[in-house]
């Protein structure tokens, strides 16, 4: 089990480290996996998040971060594009979760009354996220032939 003290070593970008390119990409994916888990646990328990993105300099995860090839050594297991799309959009959704959580469960939010502008901002962020989710990541209730597990999982998080 990873404790919060362990996260401090993960929060820094490793771009200028001696790690191989594949390890840098793996490090970045681990960081964003921990980020999403933190948001999901906070939502499930109605608690504040533990990872503050203002304290992080890790760039947003991108499709290139799923390539594990090294020069001259192609990956034995190329990434599944559907899995990559799921993760990228899941991270973005978890960013919005963090926004909602900070508005609802932070110490500062308890000191002031709920601000309607915050709710509108969160609602607009969710609508924008949904607008930019690619077709293969949309859950199609009406067309069962186009459904897939990853789209359903992403929709259930939404």
Query: Per residue in 43-84, pLDDT tens?
Result: 999 888 899 888 888 999 999 999 887 777 777 788 899 999
- Please, which residues have CB within 8 angstroms of residue 129's CB and are 6 or more apart in sequence? 89, 92, 93, 96, 158
Q: Which two tokens stand for residue 90?
A: 């899941």
The model's pTM: 0.80
The token pair that represents 120 in the structure block: 């509108």
Could you state, in order of their start, the residue ranges of all structural domains in the chain?
A: 12-157
Residue 14: CB partners within 8 Å, gap ≥ 6?
A: 23, 24, 27, 28
In angstroms, rounded to a whole number, what is the distance separating the alpha carbons of residues 125 and 127?
5
């Amino acid at each position: 089990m990873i404790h919060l003290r362990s996260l401090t070593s993960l929060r820094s970008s490793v771009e200028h480290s001696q790690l191989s390119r594949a390890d840098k990409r793996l490090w970045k994916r681990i960081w964003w996996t921990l980020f999403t888990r933190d948001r999901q646990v906070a939502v499930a328990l109605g608690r504040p998040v533990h990872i503050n993105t203002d304290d992080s300099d890790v760039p947003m995860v991108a499709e290139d971060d799923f390539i594990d090839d090294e020069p001259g050594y192609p990956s034995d297991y190329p990434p599944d594009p559907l899995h990559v799309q799921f993760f990228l959009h899941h991270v973005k959704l978890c960013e919005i979760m963090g926004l909602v959580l900070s508005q609802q469960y932070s110490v500062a939010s308890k000191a002031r009354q709920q601000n309607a502008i915050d709710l509108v901002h969160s609602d607009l962020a969710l609508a924008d996220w949904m607008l930019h989710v690619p077709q293969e990541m949309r859950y199609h209730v009406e067309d069962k032939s186009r459904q897939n597990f990853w789209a359903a999982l992403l929709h259930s998080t939404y």
